[in-house]
Amino acid sequence: MSSNTKKRSALGKGLSALLENSETDITSTSSGDGIVGSISTISISSIEANPFNPRSNFEKEALQELSTSIKIHGIIQPITVRKLGRDKYQLISGERRFRAAQLAKLTEVPAYIRIANDQAMLEMALVENIQREDLNPIEVALSYQRLIEEVELTQDQLSQKISKSRSSITNHLRLLKLPPDIQAGVRERKITMGHARALVSAGDGETQVELFNRVVNEKLSVRDIEAILRGEKISGTPEEQEQLPKKAKLEITKTEFTFKEHLGDRLSTKVEIKKSPNGNGKIVVNFNSDVDLSRIIDLLNK
CATH number of residue 99's parent domain: 3.90.1530.30
Q: Which domain holds residue 252?
A: 247-302
- pLDDT at position 38: 65
Does residue 266 lie within any of the structural domains? Answer: yes
Pairing of strands 271-275, 39-43: unpaired
The model's confidence at residue 215, banded by pLDDT at 50, 70 and 90, is very high
The SS3 call for residue 270 is coil
What is the end-to-end Cα distance of the chain in Å, rounded? 28
- pLDDT at position 96: 84
The model's confidence at residue 74, banded by pLDDT at 50, 70 and 90, is confident
Mean pLDDT of 48-74: 78
Return the C-alpha torsion angle 236, 208, 168, 221, nearest 10. Answer: 0
The SS3 call for residue 122 is helix
Whether 19 and 80 have beta carbons less than 8 Å apart is answered as yes
Does residue 258 lie within any of the structural domains? Answer: yes
Residue positions counted in the chain: 302
Number of compact structural domains in the chain? 2
Among 120, 154, 177, residue at a domain's last position: 120
User: In this predicted model, which residue has the larger pLDDT, 268 or 81?
Assistant: 81
Does residue 301 lie within any of the structural domains? Answer: yes
Mean pLDDT of 50-64: 71
- pLDDT at position 54: 57
Does residue 208 lie within any of the structural domains? Answer: no
Q: Which residues are catalytic?
A: 95
- pLDDT at position 205: 86
Does residue 115 lie within any of the structural domains? Answer: yes
Does residue 170 lie within any of the structural domains? Answer: no
The SS3 call for residue 274 is strand
Task: Please state which of the ranges 40-54, 128-142, 190-204, 216-230 shows the lowest mean pLDDT.
Answer: 128-142
Q: Is the pLDDT of residue 202 over 90?
A: no
pLDDT tens figures, 248-258 = 445 677 777 77
pLDDT tens figures, 100-131 = 999 999 999 999 887 766 666 677 777 776 76
- pLDDT at position 75: 85
Among 88, 120, 152, residue at a domain's last position: 120
Helix axes 193-200, 205-218, angle to 10 degrees: 150
Does residue 225 lie within any of the structural domains? Answer: no
Among 72, 91, 120, residue at a domain's last position: 120
